[in-house]
Chain A
Amino acid sequence: MRPGVALTVACLLLPVTRASAQEGPADEAPDTAEPLPIVRMPSILAYVEAPYPPDAEAQGLEATVRVLLDLDETGAVTYAEVLEPAGHGFDEAALRAVRQMRFTPAETVEGPVAVSFPFDYRFELDTPPAAPKPQGPEPKGGVPDPEEPLPIVQMPEITTYVEAPYPPDAEAGGIEGTVVLLVTLDEEGVVEDVAIKAPAGHGFDEAALDAVRAMTFSPARTEEGPVGVVFEFAYAFSLAPEEPEPDPDTIVNVEGRVRQMGTRDDVAEATIYLPEIDRSTLTDAEGRFALEGVPAGIYTLLVRHPEHLDLEQPIEVVDGQVTSATLWIRSITYRENEAVGYYERERTEVTRRTLSIEEVKRIPGTFGDPVKVIQTLPGAARSPFGTGLLIIRGADPADSAVYVDGVRIPIIYHLTGTTSVLSPDAIQQVDFLPGGYGVQYGRTLAGTIDVKTKEWFPERKLKGGFDILDAQVWFEGPVDKKEQHGLALGARRSYIDLIIPAFTGDTGFNISPVYWDYQLKYVPRVWDDQDLSVFVYGFQDTLTVSTPDDFAQSADPSTQGDLSTTYQSHRLLLRYQKRWGENVNFDFRPSVGYDSVGLGLGQDFGLDQYSVQFQLRSELAIRPHPVVEVIPGIDLQGGPYGFEFKSPFSFADLDDPLAERDPIGFDGRGSRWSTAPYLKVNLRPLKDRDRWLLTAGLRYDATVYFVEGGITFDAEVEPTVVTSVDPRVATRLVVFEKGDHSGTFKASTGLYHQPPQFFQSIGIGATARLLAERAWNSSVGFEHRINQAFSWDLDVFYRSVDQVVTFNNGGFVGRGSQPFANEGEGYAYGFEVLLRHAPVNRFFGYISYTFSRSFRRNSPDQDFVPFDYDQPHIFSAQGGYTFPGDIGLSGQIQIVSGNPFTPRNAGVYDVDSDSYSTFATGPRNSERLPVFVQTSIRLDKTWTFKRWQLETYLELLNALRGVNPEATIYNYDGTEFGFVRGLPFIPNIGLEFTFYP
């Protein structure tokens, strides 16, 4: 058996200048076989001065009494005895004093431990006691000495412990010993000198000297900083003791671990209580607990933790056996209640609206889709049924943009408009920027949505689920033992095509929307100052409208057959970030994407289009001074595209039903490259840096369009170049702030340009002469956080747009024509209010109201009319409450003005085309659809098991109002009209499981 080496440290320290170091022998080592080294020695918290023995004082005697002190894990003195008596009343006085003293506990790497060590109590007549008194009283009768060194407030600690070899002869002879050394450290904690104060012989002295010289220490410190010190160090050599007969009362015979059901997280600081014998303990950080000496019998083990439900577990304790148990306790709620950053984070955008994923999941009617929820926030209008269009502050959907991790994507919703193309599990956060955003975003006139995917996957989980729309599976988590490599992957497939007929009845048409999507993300976390991630995702949407084979869809034989649309998109996104300290960050995000659209009607009509998109977004954020942050960046986007078009007839013959049908076909190829360098400066002029933020930015956009192919009539067409400059400023000023109560003023103004879409940039055999569309956006607002739960937010906005690309009536005349022109104009104004109760105390909810007006005209000689997406009043309220037992009830109501439409009336019958031309009976968009009212309810319940969770929910969509008018439809001759209906009442039953492998 290898002899153990125990260590105790004499820990009374004196500054080097104070030569009268107290002295005393080291104590015996603890009797553990291989104790962990002490890394932090006890220090005096409360020094108690002993009364000087009167006789000794009268005789002028001084003395040092060496006492053995036992400290427990809290640093309290549990035992003291005189090792080296001094007589004359010194011993008794010293014992009384040290028993009242308080120390910091000794610590090993595992935490505080009980120790024994020798302590020298010095009695001197003319000098105050030598011991430092960090918190003790001044020595009685002492006179302050101006040269007196400052007391030590932090003693040296062993940073590298060196174990001395046990002298072979001593080990063979069963000899133990303790060598007391005087160790001198310099101000950096380096061992300058080691001397033997109390030798132990038998080879112990040499071994201890060599070992201590090789040790390293942290320096001692006074209040003014590190100082050199001399202190005693007792190096004890002891052989492993004989195994003592265990005390039954100190044997652990009940042990176990407490873990949370479902997530399998360890539960620390849970109380383990045996009421029968009134014994309790707490679990450690790993959820482990141990009870000693529990008498044999049957007990009820009670587990309590404030965030979990109580658990009572019967156990039986048998003599001579250890009872082990893993206790699974249920969290009071498994719902994440933290609000994500609506007010909590640093914000550089004037108006950014963010909701927690937990809120999003529980808003009925959104299918748990965080992107879909955007439509319930102020500033966002309701999308017409089935379109998924983003209508932000009354703008054209094409004027807004969606980004995923900073990379712009063409569409965000599947064709049904019910869900986004990313699985909700892939999404960490969705930022909705209705306006006033910075120069890092561009090529848009209106709002922006930035979807941020998860940056890391701390926990392995496997999820699966289905609802009325689709079924999906998802895995995420670290994939290596060191948890340095995270992986997430998932896929989803719809079956809504099978369900639609149940809700639409026999319309004569079979509508089959089908979508699938996938996501794969890999994140290595092997560097402290660098981040890297690879994200691949894609999706496909197909929509087929078919009729029975024996059913003619129209009188035109060329357009018989199914109408089919296929949209496909795939993207690879890389992200690399590097940090140099706290003030310089570099962000680099290249990506490549492929998009294709296929549109077909029967065999003879079709459009196939593809595009490859290369994008690069890179920023360098530099903070040269706490007041200033400078962010130069670049936003590149471009790539080739192509299309092929075929038609059974010429466009020129569209209005001539008797024209001979000669099929046509043409193609086009080209590319569009756009580069946008920008510079953004954030100023925080006030001492409280978060109080006032002033942001200014400048963005330059240059877009070049190249066109070739049949669309150019094989002519060399000069590229179209479109440039623009966008200056923008914004500010946020915290007007008042006290605790959770704060008010923030915000304002922004700036120019926004949007280059023409690629199909608009095509002149027919000629260079398109177009400018970028332009908008001037301004807003002013106020945010008021009332307390931790309640807040409200008001924004007033105005936007004017001009140079809008519109179809050039009369311009489509064949070769050399300009089908589009920058003749459109418009303006929008309104205000938005959001009243929110963050997810606190089981409740969440928000009320949103937007007043918005939007007007457009296609050319300056026309009158302004309400824009197609003008929705003056948009109100929504949603909220939910979590009952005990993880039962959630939530609801939503949405009331929105109907979209405008142009009224029509009876028409004239064209016998040859077999169709009616109807008359407009009012100005464009002069009437509105009825008010849209939608009410939905959701009831959910989560069951939690040891390794997995099961959530079921029932959503009653469109519960109280039923279907809503979504568009007008006229009968064959315009004499009657009705409304195309949206979603009917739908009971959506869903199930989701989460497995924690």
Chain B
Amino acid sequence: MKNPVTTLGFASLRASACSASLAGWRGVAGVVGSVSVGAGGVGRAMGVVGVSLLVGGCAPLGDDLYPKPDDLSPEWQLDRVRVLAIRAEPPEIDLGQSSVLEGLVVDPYGDVALKVWNACPPDEDGGGDFGCIADLPTDGLSPDSLDLDALRDAGILAIEPIPGFSSPTYTPTCSDIRWPDRCTDNPTGCSDPSLDLAACCDQIGLAACPQLEKLYSLIQVAAIPGDALAPREPADPDAPPQETFDFNDVEVAFKRLVVSASPTPNTNPALARFHVDGLVVHDEDTVVEVDAGQTYTILAVLADDAAQDYTYVPSSCREPGDPPVPDACADPALQDPSDECAPQCRAEEPYVKWYATGGVVREPTTLFGFLDTTWTAPSTDDPVLVTEGDVWAVSRDRRGGIAWRRLRWRLRALADAP
């Protein structure tokens, strides 16, 4: 503030009328005041400054009336229960094979009581906007009273940490796949044309609809806090108990498990290590000491085999009964750029999403080739100082492959700070 008159005016006004939110507006009104002083006499200038103070000073009233975009929690900020990723290992399987499922559920305050896994075919549009509908018993998910068989029949794959039921594994069947219209509108590859695709699939497998993509099953995990499990007290005592969860209380995430007979099935894009301002961090248990308020460049290094080459043929080129697609990456001679139906060899370009339990992530998304983000450690000016926590990096290869890695950090003791 170069104008002492204006500064004083604001100081007094700030104390009286317009609360503490004026700081951002001082500059604006100060400019008005300064211009006025230059344009006219002192008396007139004082009048204009007064108006400016009133006007500029009260403007923040409106500014603070409603939440604004800056008030919303950023996606990278881990301050509550979040499901950041689901990993299927392997992420792409043929019928008859199984994937082991794992969820990256961040639970900073230990709220999550259960993680419920289930699976379902995608919806009619081929996508899965809202995942799977699971009919969970809401009158009590107590481990002691669960009927595991009934749950399995309901499509529940696992519930963590229910003993004996907490290892989610999924083995898709022909009926778990949502078959694309391209195949349902055409004769199947089975000898019996009266069979539907699922039945045909049961006979000849994925050759019933030979394509390397868009054959999925959905797998889903719901992270349920403990207080969401207790039967709710209805506002009306005579009303029946609520039968569904409030999705404000439950974190639900789903992913597609790719079912294919690809010659180059997908693998998860593993992250090998971090480089923190040049410091190489191999071990996830390593705790990196950082200085409060200091900004660091964190590079996520993919494992050598994370970015795969894979064979691709457009689905529109595949017809029922076609032989399996050969591996065009292994045999480049199969590739023919002039033939859109010839097998192509394509390369993955995994990208990384970043999350943190404290501090500030500047680039929450980093793309292949530029997988370094900027993270600023918590500052001593923060209202609540977080002294230790995690930075999470989640990598995706756009074919359903997912991996993650944790970087643990701890604020260097303030007395030790340089």
B4-42 with Cβ < 8 A to chain A? 25, 28, 31-32, 35, 39
Contact, CB under 8 Å: A658 / B216: yes
Would A660 and B59 be within 8 Å (CB), given that A985-B25, A987-B28 are in contact? no
Q: Which one, A557, A959, A984, contacts B63 given CB within 8 A?
A: A984
Indicate with 1 or 0, residue by residue over A378-390, a CB within 8 angstroms of chain B CB atoms: 0000000000000
A971 touches B61 (CB 8 A): no
Output the nearest chain B residue to A939 by Cβ-Cβ distance: B48
The answer to whether B66 and A965 have CB atoms under 8 Å apart is yes
Determine how close the nearest CB of chain A comes to the CB of B135; give it in whole angstroms: 16
Question: B179 an interface residue at 8 Å Cβ cutoff?
Answer: no
User: A582 within 8 Å of B by Cβ?
Assistant: no
Is A550 on the interface with B (CB-CB < 8 A)? Answer: yes
A946-990 contacts to B, CB under 8 A, are 952, 954, 956, 958-965, 969-973, 975-981, 984-985, 987, 989
Flag whether B125 is at the interface (Cβ < 8 A).
yes
- Closest residue of chain B to A976, judged by CB? B72
Whether A919 sits at the interface, judged by CB under 8 Å, is yes
Partner of A985, one of B55, B68, B69: B55
**Which of A21-29, A88-96, A905-913 is found at the contact surface with chain B?**
A905-913
Given known pairs A905-B248, A978-B69, A984-B59, the reply for A662 and B130 (CB within 8 Å) is no
**What's the count of A-B pairs with C-beta under 8 Å?**
165
Near B by CB (< 8 A), chain A positions 158-176 give none
User: Cβ of B68 and Cβ of A919 under 8 Å apart?
Assistant: no
- Residue of B at shortest CB range from A933? B62
Determine if A930 is an interface residue (Cβ-Cβ < 8 Å). yes
| CB nearest to B21 among chain A residues | A962
Tell me whether A662 and B314 are in contact (CB under 8 A). yes
Known interface pairs A656-B126, A906-B247, A907-B247; A981-B68 also in contact (CB < 8 Å):
yes
Residue in A912, A971, A989 with the greatest tally of chain B CB atoms within 10 Å: A912
Q: Is B412 an interface residue (CB 8 A)?
A: no
- Is the CB of A20 closer than 8 A to any CB of chain B? no
Partner of B67 from the list A959, A960, A979 (CB cut-off 8 Å) is A979
Contact of A554 among B127, B365, B398 (CB under 8 A): B365
B173 to A: closest C-beta gap in Å: 20
Say whether B331 faces chain A, with CB atoms less than 8 Å apart. Answer: no
Interface residues of A in 519-561 (CB under 8 A from B): 550-552, 554-555, 557, 560
Q: Is the CB of A962 within 8 A of B60?
A: yes
Say if the beta carbon of B402 comes within 8 Å of chain A: yes
**Considering the complex, which residues of chain A in the window 635-691 have a beta carbon less than 8 Å from any beta carbon of chain B?**
655-660, 662
Do A987 and B32 touch across chains, with their CB atoms under 8 A apart?
yes
A911 x B353 contact (CB < 8 A)? no
List of B residues within 8 angstroms of A788 by Cβ:
none
Alpha-carbon distance between A657 and B312 when the two chains are bound, in angstroms: 16
Bound form: Cα–Cα A969–B71 in Å: 11
- CB contacts (< 8 Å) of A919 on chain B: these are 130, 247
Does A914 reach chain B (CB closer than 8 Å)? yes
Bound form: Cα–Cα A913–B109 in Å: 27
Q: How far is the CA of A981 from the CA of B70 in the complex (A)?
A: 11
Which of A657, A905, A909, A961 is the most central at the interface, judged by chain B CB atoms within 10 Å of its CB? Answer: A909
A602, chain B: closest CB distance, angstroms: 12
A326 at interface by CB-CB < 8 Å: no
Q: Which of A658, A958, A978 contacts B68 (CB 8 A)?
A: A978
- A937 on the B face (CB < 8 A): yes
- Is A658 in contact with B398, judged by CB distance below 8 angstroms? yes
Interface 9-mer from B113-121, B187-195, B250-258, B268-276: B250-258
A757 within 8 Å of B (CB atoms):
no
Verify if A603 is at the interface (C-beta below 8 Å from B).
no
Q: Is there a chain A Cβ closer than 8 Å to B229's Cβ?
A: no
- List, in ascending order, chain B residues with CB within 8 A of A969's CB: 69, 72
Contacts of A963 in B (CB 8 A): 59, 62-63, 68
We find that the number of chain B residues with CB closer than 8 angstroms to chain A is: 67
A783 to chain B, nearest CB (A): 36
| A917 adjacent to chain B (CB < 8 Å) | yes
Contacts A657-B398, A658-B216 known; A964 to B314 CB distance under 8 Å? no
Assembly CA distance A554 to B364 (angstroms): 9
Contact segment of B156-164, B284-292, B366-374: B366-374
Check if B363 is an interface residue, CB within 8 A of chain A. yes
Residues of A contacting B72 in the complex (Cβ-Cβ under 8 angstroms)? 969-971, 976-978
Q: Is the interface of B mostly helix, strand, loop or mixed?
A: mixed
Residue in contact with B254 in the complex, picked from A555, A557, A908, A958, CB distance below 8 Å? A908
Contacts of B59 in A (CB 8 A): 958-963, 984-985
Bound complex: CA A954 to CA B363 (Å): 40
Interface residue? B263 (CB, 8 A): no
Inter-chain contact B213/A552, CB cutoff 8 Å? no
Residues of A within 8 A of B60 (CB): 962
Chain A residues numbered 550-599 whose CB sits less than 8 Å from any CB in chain B: 550-552, 554-555, 557, 560
In the complex, how many angstroms separate the beta carbon of B91 from the nearest chain A beta carbon?
A: 10
Q: How far is the CB of A155 from chain B (nearest CB, A)?
A: 65
1/0 per residue A112-127: CB within 8 Å of B?
0000000000000000
On chain A, the residues within 8 Å of B31 by CB distance are: 987
Known: A659-B213, A985-B25. A911 touches B247 (CB 8 A): no
Given A552-B363, A960-B55, A909:B69 Cβ within 8 A: no
Q: Are A956 and B55 in contact (CB under 8 A)?
A: yes
Contact of B367 among A557, A977, A985 (CB under 8 A): A557
| A979→B254 CA distance, assembly (Å) | 29
Question: Which residues of chain A are near B145, meaning CB under 8 Å?
Answer: none
Q: Are B365 and A930 in touch, CB under 8 angstroms?
A: no
Cα of A952 to Cα of B48 in the assembled complex, Å: 15
- Interface contact A989-B63, CB-CB below 8 Å: no
If A552-B363, A660-B314, A959-B59 touch, whether A912 touches B400 (CB-CB below 8 Å) is yes
**Contact assessment for B247 and A557 in the assembled complex, using a CB-CB cutoff below 8 Å:** no
Question: What residues on A are CB-neighbors of B126 within 8 Å?
Answer: 655-656
- Is B258 in contact with A658, judged by CB distance below 8 angstroms? yes
CB distance from B73 to the nearest CB of A (A): 5
B209 on the A face (CB < 8 A): no
Q: Which of A662, A912, A965, A976 contacts B255 (CB 8 A)?
A: A912
Inter-chain contacts of B66 with A (CB < 8 A): 930, 965, 978-979
| Distance to closest chain A CB from B127 (angstroms) | 4
Which residue, A660, A970, A989, has most C-beta atoms of chain B within 10 A?
A660
Q: How far is the CA of A989 from the CA of B367 in the complex (A)?
A: 44
> Is B128's CB within 8 Å of the partner chain A?
yes
Partner of B56, one of A552, A555, A985: A985
Q: Which residues in B have their C-beta under 8 angstroms from that of A662?
A: 314
- On chain B, the residues within 8 Å of A954 by CB distance are 32, 35, 48
Q: Are B252 and A908 in touch, CB under 8 angstroms? A: yes
Report how far A978 CA is from B52 CA in the complex, Å.
28
With A917-B129, A980-B69 as given contacts, are A972 and B75 in contact (CB-CB < 8 Å)? yes
| Distance in angstroms between the alpha carbons of A714 and B214 in the assembled complex | 29
Instruction: Confirm or deny: B58 has a beta carbon within 8 angstroms of a beta carbon on chain A.
Output: yes
Within A900-939, the residues touching B (CB, 8 Å) are 905-912, 914, 917, 919, 930, 933, 937
Across-interface contacts of B71 in A (CB, < 8 A):
976, 978
User: For residue A979, which residue of chain B has the nearest CB?
Assistant: B66
What are the residues of chain B within 8 A of A656 when measuring CB–CB?
126-127, 214
When distances are taken between beta carbons in the complex, the residues of chain A under 8 Å from B141 are none
Complex alpha-carbon distance, A952 and B125, angstroms: 61
Nearest CB in chain B to that of A934: its residue: B62
B351 in the interface, Cβ–Cβ < 8 Å? yes
Determine the chain A residues whose CB is within 8 A of the CB of B370 once the complex forms.
550, 552
For B251, list chain A residues within 8 Å (CB): 909
| Top 9 A-B pairs, shortest CB-CB distance | A962-B62, A655-B127, A978-B67, A962-B59, A985-B59, A909-B253, A972-B75, A911-B255, A971-B72
What are 8 pairs between A and B in contact, CB < 8 Å? A658-B400, A660-B314, A909-B83, A909-B251, A954-B32, A965-B66, A973-B75, A979-B67
- Given A963-B59, A971-B74; 18 other pairs, CB 8 A cutoff: A551-B363, A552-B351, A555-B353, A557-B367, A658-B398, A659-B213, A660-B312, A906-B247, A910-B129, A912-B400, A917-B130, A933-B62, A961-B62, A976-B73, A978-B66, A979-B66, A984-B59, A985-B28
